[in-house]
Amino acid sequence: MKTALLTLGRLPKALDVAEALSKAGWRVIIAEPAKWHLARVSRYVDKSIALTAPNDHQARYLDELLHVIEEENVSLVVPVSEEALHSTLIESRLPPNVKLYSMSQLRLRELHDKARFIKLAKSFGLTVPQTYMLGDFEASQFALNNDYIIKPVCTCSGQGLEIHDAGDDLPFACQLPPAIVQQQMKGALKSTFSMCHEGRVIGSVVYRSAILSGTVGVAFERLDDETAIENWIAQFVEMAGHTGFISFDMMEDENGIPHAIECNPRATSGIHFVERESIAQAITNPPETNELRLRPQQLMQQFYPCLTETQVSLFKRDEFFNKAKIMLKAKEVNFSWRDPLPLWLMPITSWQIMKRAFINGESFGEASTFDIAWFEEIAAAE
């Protein structure tokens, strides 16, 4: 039996990948910093190994990851989420028989960087919001007459996001990590998830957040017939020659033309809408895979975060009933009677994330990525 290694297990999307590969006949192991995590108790995960957190000691994390690959005879490595910016650094040190399902770390960094991604997409002739580096003269001029946002160039889960009206004073660049000043788009926010191979989109999902935890969606509605967005994705992937997971946050202008406000070069919650068999085929045999088959559900939720957000809104009548209605209609993203423990034991396996969120006042997205996300200070340290 061939062995696949996932470099994250704490997030629900890891369960989708683990189940997909296990059902396709792979032995699935997970190597990540958390000793207890969501996927550890899944029947589809054969082994879980705790590593040093990359944001504590990146070199040690990479050495330990390579040791696991050698000891467990791994032939496929699948980075899942924010940890991909770290885990893909092993590419040049991998044995020749081990496949890494990802673009290079340098390309992932370019896509993760909010300023560099906008520059790249613009060079492809694709629509993006007006974007400038904080501290540049052009940013100051733009902010005088336009509503704008500020966000760090290296961030995730909405950390550091500021929303401003035209004419608001810009902070001094030295007061923040490197950040962008970006046109504030007024349309509805739509998110995407795609799997690609050598510049070809195998398939995409377009969805919107139905319930938010901070700025991170915890309930999701699939959107069909989004041809303009799908065409935007196809053109970007072709020109970038992308392979692996890729996701975008999009907003439409007043004419309905989609603009990509940022890129997430990793799996996002859109993966929950994809049939498990299709995920496995796209990872293990992408040249012969021509589509992503979607699950029948239009509305999905991560139950416990949704429950928390619904309880918080208890005294806001309309908001509470709207969230409760969504929870009653939505299917839990990972629950099945064949593998019930990840949901049933989530309060235990995710206790450290929930504890950090409550104590520090962070969203679940922030609390679940603090030790694995790629921030500007890491790039600067290199």
Model confidence pLDDT, tens digit, residues 118-175? 999 999 999 999 999 999 999 999 999 999 999 999 987 778 889 999 999 998 877 7
> Confidence class of residue 380 from pLDDT cuts 50, 70 and 90?
very low
User: Per-residue pLDDT for 379 more than 60?
Assistant: no
Q: What is the pLDDT of residue 227?
A: 97
Phi, psi dihedral angles at 136 (to 5 degrees): -80, 150
Q: HSE of 244 in the Cβ direction (CA atoms, 13 Å)?
A: 25
Nearest to 275 by CA among 209, 323, 232, 222: 222
Q: Tens digit of pLDDT for each residue in 9-51?
A: 999 999 999 999 999 999 999 999 999 999 999 999 999 999 9
Q: What does the alpha-carbon distance between residue 71 and residue 215 come to, in Å, rounded to a whole number?
A: 39
- Phi then psi for 209, rounded to 5 degrees? -80, 125
Asked if pLDDT for residue 378 goes beyond 90, the answer is no
* Closest by CA position to 270, among listed 190, 325, 348: 190
pLDDT number for residue 376: 65
The CATH fold assigned to 3-102 is Rossmann fold (3.40.50)
Place of tokens 């492809």: 124
User: What is the chain's mean pLDDT, rounded?
Assistant: 94
Using an 8 Å Cβ cutoff, are 249 and 262 in contact? yes
Q: Grade residue 75 by pLDDT with cuts at 50, 70 and 90.
A: very high
* pLDDT tens-digit readout, 195-220: 999 999 999 999 999 998 878 899 99
Report helix, strand or coil for 31.
Answer: strand
The full DSSP string for 186-244 is: -S-EEEEEEEEETTEEEEEEEEEEEEEETTEEEEEEEE---HHHHHHHHHHHHHHT--E
At residue 339, the pLDDT reads 97
Share of the chain above pLDDT 90, in %: 85
Model confidence at 366, pLDDT cuts 50, 70, 90, reads: confident
> Is 163:184 a contact under the CB 8 Å cutoff?
yes
Global model pTM greater than 0.75: yes
For range 229-234, the mean pLDDT: 98
Q: What is the DSSP string of 250-284?
A: EEE-TTS-EEEEEEE-S--GGGGGB-HHHHHHHHH
Residue 367 pLDDT > 70, yes or no?
A: yes
The secondary structure of 104-155 as a DSSP string is: -HHHHHHHHSHHHHHHHHHHTT-----EEETTSHHHHHHHHHS-EEEEESS-
- What tokens does 285 get? 């045999």
The pLDDT tens digits of the residues spanning 278-314 come to 999 999 999 999 999 999 999 999 999 899 899 999 8
Strand pairing of 27-32 and 3-6?
Answer: parallel
3-state secondary structure (DSSP) of residue 294: strand
Query: For the chain, what are the domain ranges?
Result: 3-102, 130-183
User: So what's the pLDDT on residue 365?
Assistant: 80
Contact between 188 and 218 under an 8 Å Cβ cutoff? The reply is no
How much of the chain exceeds pLDDT 70, in percent? Answer: 98
The reported pLDDT for the residue numbered 35 is 94
d(CA 223, CA 158): 22
Question: pLDDT at position 354, please?
Answer: 85
Check pLDDT > 80 for residue 381. Answer: no
